[in-house]
Amino acid sequence: MSLITNVMDHSLDDGYAEAAARRKSQGEGGLPKTLRAKLGLAGGLVLAALVVTLGAAQARVAAPVVAKERQELIDRVDKETADADQLEKTVDTLRDDVSARQRAALRSSGGGSEADLVGLLSGATAVHGPGVRLVVDDAKEASGGGDGSNPRETSGFSDTGRVRDRDMQRVVNGLWASGAEAISVNGQRLTALSAIRAAGDAILVDNRPLVPPYTVLAVGDGQRLSTRFQDSADGLYLHALEENYGIRATISTEGDVRLPAAPSVIVRTAQPKSEKTEKGTS
């Protein structure tokens, strides 16, 4: 208790107290006494105030410039986006015009119905008709990790609740095998040249990234197509994903589904067989 009392009564060390008293007796400390010292202090305060004022003024002047530059960038992005949208509309218009001219040329040569069939099967023309709608989505709570004992818990399938590109490949191939005449995934029409691949966690269809849920539309005999797909090996595979990994899938028959034309069906390697070649090989 005596130590605590001593600390409370003598909170300032005696040495500090003596030094303060000595400086006070010698006239040191506190505000400057001479005129020169006072002018120096006043000059320092004025200089500090000037620096602060200039900094505030510069910040105030620079703020509108920064805001203007930001708005200019936003306007530029909006303009480029509008230009890109306009170009895309122009491409769609030109593609429709080319398709119409191709059909007209084939009809004039006596192949009108055949041209329509080829365009439908190749995906070059938009189609509609009865079919099915299959919606596939990730699990509500996609889990990660795993001990490696499960094929979907390897490095390529670290998230067992995610729909993967190979899952969509099996779904699409199962629909084709079950009798689908035309298929689209999230509005992307599939053709003989289409590819379903992965880039990281994203699924690409013809190099266009898709986001879940994945809506697959297929034209065909709706009830028959639905039954055959669900009874097929690929349909059972999808059902296993639902049971084991929580992946969600619903299928329904539709009276009329509409599929857009494929953006590009350009063949770069294959060439049509000429009549001379056909006669030479017969």
pLDDT one-digit tens code per residue, 21-51: 776 666 555 555 677 777 777 888 888 888 8
Quickly state the pLDDT bin for 194 (edges 50, 70, 90): confident
Closest by CA to 266, choosing from 193, 197, 206, 202, is 193
Region 256-263 average pLDDT: 86
SS3 48: helix
Average pLDDT estimate for 59-82: 83
Q: Classify residue 27: in a domain, yes or no.
A: no
Mean pLDDT on 196-201: 86
- The whole-number pLDDT of residue 68 equals 80
Q: Is the residue at 164 inside a domain?
A: yes
Q: What per-residue string of b and e applies to 180-190 under the rule 16 or more CB within 10 Å gives b?
A: bbbbbbbebbb
Task: Quote the pLDDT of residue 125.
Answer: 78
Residue 216 in any domain: the answer is yes
pTM equals: 0.57
Rounded CA-CA distance 220/178 in Å is 9
pLDDT of residue 200: 80
Q: Is residue 32 part of a domain?
A: no
| Overall domain count for the chain | 1
| pLDDT for residue 147 | 43
CA distance 161 to 245: 5
Question: What is the structure's pLDDT at 31?
Answer: 57
Share of the chain above pLDDT 70, in %: 70
**pLDDT at residue 207, rounded to an integer:** 83
Lowest mean pLDDT among 144-148, 189-193, 244-248, 259-263: 144-148
- Identify the CATH number of the domain in which residue 219 sits: 3.30.70.1880
Domain span including residue 221: 129-259
d(CA 185, CA 167): 13
Is residue 180 a part of any domain in this protein?
Answer: yes
82 within a domain of the structure (yes/no): no
* 115 within domain boundaries: no
Q: Mind listing the pLDDT tens digit for each residue in 207-246?
A: 888 889 999 999 999 999 999 999 999 999 999 999 998 9
